[in-house]
Structure formats: C-alpha cells, structure tokens
Structure 1
C-alpha cells in the first residue's frame, strides 16, 4: 500500500462501516436468541422433588385471606411435608438443610412482600396528598 492509499478517507470509512456492521449483526444475534429462549426467573423457589404446580383446590376467601387465583403457584409441594423422615442420619441432615433453605427463601420473600406493601401504602398516601394539593390549587385558580 502506498502512503496515499493508507491515508484515504474512503478506506477509513470502509473499515469503520465494516466494524459497525459486524457489531450490529452480533447485537441482533444476541437480541434474537435472548428473546426466543425464556429462562425461568432466579427468585422462584425450587421444589425438591417435583416441579411447581398451580393450586388445584379452590379456597373460599375470608376477609383476612386474599383471593387465590388458579394461576397461583405453590412454592412448596405438599409431598415434602407428608414424606417419611429418612432413617439415615446423613440423609436426615440433608433433608433438614433443604427444608431450612426453603424456609429461608420463604422468609426472605415474605419480608420482601411486606416491604413492597408498606412502600405501596406510602406511595398511595403521598398520591392522595398530592391530589388534595392539586384540588386546592385548582379551586384557588378558579376562584381568582
């Protein structure tokens, strides 16, 4: 290559265009395959023996209990609670560790939900206050 060919703006634009095209193809490839494969969320509790199933029984809601949809997923399978306790001590310790892990996940989820609930209550109170202020401002502007 001569000196004129190396300093050519068309060569530079060609190289930059080629790199941009390669990057765009790579990003399009990543985007296509990230949307086509749906990975399960990481925060879901993992069942020990069987996959989670939607609640099959319909529960009559009381005032203290929220309404449970058919789409609600059981976090813990009932078979775990009714399974016989293993006689082998190492299996027993492993089973207790699994149950403790599930319990800690449930406790973390409960605390997270309580925090979200209190945050939502705070936001509702702030929005109500904002609406009252806007109504007072509107009345004030209409009276002038």
Structure 2
C-alpha cells in the first residue's frame, strides 16, 4: 500500500510529461510545415518575346483574375527580326513552342470548363423542375 502511494505521483508526472512532450512535438511539426509553406518559392513560368527580353518581365496574372480581352501574346512578335545567331533563334523557337503549348492547354481547359458549366446548368434546370413538381404535389 505504501509503495503505491509513493509511485502514483511519479506515474502521474510521467504521463503528464509524456502528453506535454507529444503536444510540443505536434506544435513544432505544424510550425515547421507552416514556415516551409511560407518560405517555399512559387514556380511561375514567365513568357518573354524578343521585344520583352530587354524590358522588365510582366507580372503573372492568375487565370481566375484574367480579363477575357487580355492579350496573351504581343502582336509585334510577327515583325520582330529573326536573330542571326542560330542558338538564340533556337531558344526563341523553343519559347514560342512553349507559348503555343500553354495556349493549347489553356484552350482545352477553358473548353472543359465550358462543357462542365453547361452540364451543371442542365442539372440545375432538372433540379428546379423536380422541385417545382414536388411543390405542386404538396399544394
């Protein structure tokens, strides 16, 4: 009986200390993850034309905030002189190919979003008709 009384406070302190250690580790982990997310670099691709190489790069606009009349590429790219150095010309061609791929991907995404919106509209119309029919039956 006397041994149980002597060991109980130690057991209670050990359990409390273990719980505090687990909570401290959890909070440190959350803090570490949050600081990594804030410090992690965001990867944004910058598209430049020959005319923009010497100019400051434009800031990236998220797709959701982009205006529908926004120019995706500059019109003066067609009149830009072709570089005489073959490696620079290949880089420019690679950049233009990347732009073309991004535009194609964006077009496919927008078409998919448009199809999804049309399907949602049809489903909402059906839901409204069903709700109107249920309302008509209850009255």
TM-score bin (small chain) = 0.5 to 0.7
The match for 2:15 among 12, 17, 22 is: 12
Q: Is 1:117 equivalent to 2:114 in the alignment? A: yes
Q: Is the 8 A contact 2:82 2:89 kept in 1?
A: yes
Q: Distance in 1 between matches of 2:78 and 2:41?
A: 28
Q: How many residues align?
A: 121
TM-score, normalised with respect to structure 1 = 0.65
TM-score, normalised with respect to structure 2 = 0.67
The 3-state SS of whatever aligns with 1:87 is coil
Structure 1 residue 130 displacement after superposition: 0.5
Q: Distance in 1 between matches of 2:109 and 2:96?
A: 20
Structure 1 stretches lacking a partner, 5+ long: 55-67
Higher relative contact order (CA 8 A, sep 6+): 2
The 3-state SS of whatever aligns with 1:121 is helix
Q: Distance in 1 between matches of 2:71 and 2:12?
A: 64
Q: CA distance change for structure 1 residues 23 and 53 in 2, over 3 Å: closer, same or farther? A: closer
Q: How does 1:1-144 map to 2 (within 5 A)?
A: 8-28=11-31, 30-31=33-34, 34=37, 40=42, 45-48=45-48, 49=53, 50-52=56-58, 69=67, 74-78=71-75, 80-142=77-139
Asked which structure has the greater CA Rg, the reply is 2
What RMSD over aligned residues (CA atoms) do the two structures have, in Å?
Answer: 3.3
- Structure with the largest fraction of helix: 2
